[in-house]
């Protein structure tokens, strides 16, 4: 389908499900709620469905309480997905990221629209607004609204949500940046986005436990491999329990080691009851999405990716450290210059 057919479809009321990825981050929530507000304005019946709950500090956006958490309400979620005439897939592009909803998503006959900025899409959809150069899915939601010729409908609620997504995925305007992200932000500010408040809500909204967990990661659980310009942080279930871990508490921790001049590659391992989750970050040319895809069943962007391992925490750590020598050339210490 082309954008005209989508515009035509959306010109009459539809039952719409907006689905995003598991362990939703600020972009997933901001993009989804931004689109949700826009669709409600067009008189559609819409619902945001997330596979698992989002962090407490992401619950400040307007109509957050309307979000359905599939893990907690699978029957209602399944009913909404089966009923939907249109399904939006936001901030992901492969069915497995919609944990628990994979089959509902792939087997649905609804018109499917993907709005995403990750590499290697494999979700079959009727329309895709897919751009790996976009800062965030939220930026693409803005572009989608613009493509529909509906920019005038962007009110302060939509502006706040889209700004939250851009701000979150760029780490407060540090990564994945584009001139477009700045242009859109200027427009959103004019429409009433409260950027100072959202910056605080996203980045200065820790619990004491979360800050102490960060301190513990850096003082006790950080290992540096100078010959590979690599840093590794690893946390067991016991470590997490000790700091009353809640969803989102480890968000951003993997970025801290990159603040060391020589570090180019940072990895964080987190043990859960099912698997070990891995987060990868780099600065410069080292493509962590390729590393994640090749060794840890994952993916993402060049400088930010994730993956998982079915091995124990100790064995995952061992596997990771044994892989480093193969990347000796790419990870050799260098002096940064622009």
* Nearest to Mn ion of 91, 239 (CB atom): 91
* Nearest to ligand 5GP of 257, 307 (CB atom): 307
Question: CA-to-CA distance for 283 and 240, rounded, in angstroms?
Answer: 27
- The angle at the Cα of 58, spanning 54 to 62, to the nearest 5 degrees, equals 110
* Nearest to ligand 5GP of 159, 280 (CB atom): 280
Q: Which residue is nearest to ligand 5GP (CB)?
A: 306
Enumerate residues 124-143 that contact Mn ion by CB under 5 A: 136-137
Contact partner, 80, from Mn ion, ligand 5GP, none, Cβ < 5-8 Å per class: none
Question: CA-to-CA distance for 106 and 123, rounded, in angstroms?
Answer: 8
N-terminal to C-terminal alpha carbon distance within the chain: 43
Pairing, β 127-130 against β 68-69: unpaired
Smallest distance from the beta carbon of 301 to ligand 5GP, in angstroms? 6
Smallest distance from the beta carbon of 333 to ligand 5GP, in angstroms? 24
- Residues binding ligand 5GP (CB under 6 A): 118, 279, 298-301, 304-308
* Nearest to ligand 5GP of 24, 77 (CB atom): 24
For 76-112, letters b (16+ CB in 10 Å) and e give: ebbebbeebbbbbbbbbbbbebbeebeebbeebebbb
Which stretch, 23-31, 33-41, 79-87, 179-187, contacts Mn ion (CB under 5 A)? Answer: 23-31
Contact partner, 279, from ligand 5GP, Mn ion, none, Cβ < 5-8 Å per class: ligand 5GP
33 makes contact with Mn ion (CB under 5 A): no
* Nearest to Mn ion of 117, 229 (CB atom): 117
Enumerate residues 62-101 that contact Mn ion by CB under 5 A: 91
Question: CA-to-CA distance for 259 and 277, rounded, in angstroms?
Answer: 22
Instruction: Find, among 60, 73, 72, the residue nearest to 33 by Cα.
Output: 60
Token code pair at residue 268: 């964080």
């Amino acid at each position: 389908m082309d954008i005209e057919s989508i515009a035509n479809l959306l010109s009459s009321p539809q039952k719409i499900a907006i689905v995003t990825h598991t362990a939703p981050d600020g972009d997933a929530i901001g993009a989804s709620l931004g689109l949700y507000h826009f669709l409600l304005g067009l008189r559609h019946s819409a619902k945001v469905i997330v596979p698992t709950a989002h962090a407490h500090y992401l619950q400040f956006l307007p109509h957050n309480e309307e979000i359905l958490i599939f893990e907690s309400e699978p029957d209602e979620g399944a009913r909404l997905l089966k009923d939907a005439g249109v399904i939006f897939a936001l901030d992901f592009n492969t069915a497995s990221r919609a944990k628990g909803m994979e089959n509902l998503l792939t087997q649905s006959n609804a018109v499917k629209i993907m709005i995403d900025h990750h590499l290697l899409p494999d979700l079959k959809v009727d329309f895709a607004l897919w751009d790996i150069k976009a800062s965030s899915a939220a930026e693409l939601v803005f572009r989608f609204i613009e493509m529909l010729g509906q920019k005038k409908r962007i009110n302060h609620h939509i502006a706040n949500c889209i700004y939250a997504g851009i701000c979150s995925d760029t780490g407060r305007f540090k990564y994945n940046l584009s001139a477009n992200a700045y242009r859109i932000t200027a427009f959103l500010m004019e429409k009433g986005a409260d950027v100072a408040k959202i910056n605080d809500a996203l980045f200065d909204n820790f619990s004491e436990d979360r800050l102490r967990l960060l301190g513990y990661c850096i003082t006790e659980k950080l290992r540096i491999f100078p010959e590979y310009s690599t840093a590794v942080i690893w946390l067991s279930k016991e470590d997490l329990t000790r700091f009353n871990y809640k969803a989102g508490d480890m968000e951003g921790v993997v970025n801290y080691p990159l603040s060391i001049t020589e570090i180019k590659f940072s990895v964080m391992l987190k043990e859960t009851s099912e698997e070990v989750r891995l987060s990868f970050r780099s600065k410069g040319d080292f493509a962590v999405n390729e590393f994640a895809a090749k060794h840890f069943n994952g993916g993402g962007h060049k400088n930010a990716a994730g993956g998982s391992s079915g091995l124990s925490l100790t064995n995952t750590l061992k596997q990771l450290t044994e892989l480093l020598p193969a990347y000796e050339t790419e990870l050799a210490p260098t002096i940064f210059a622009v």
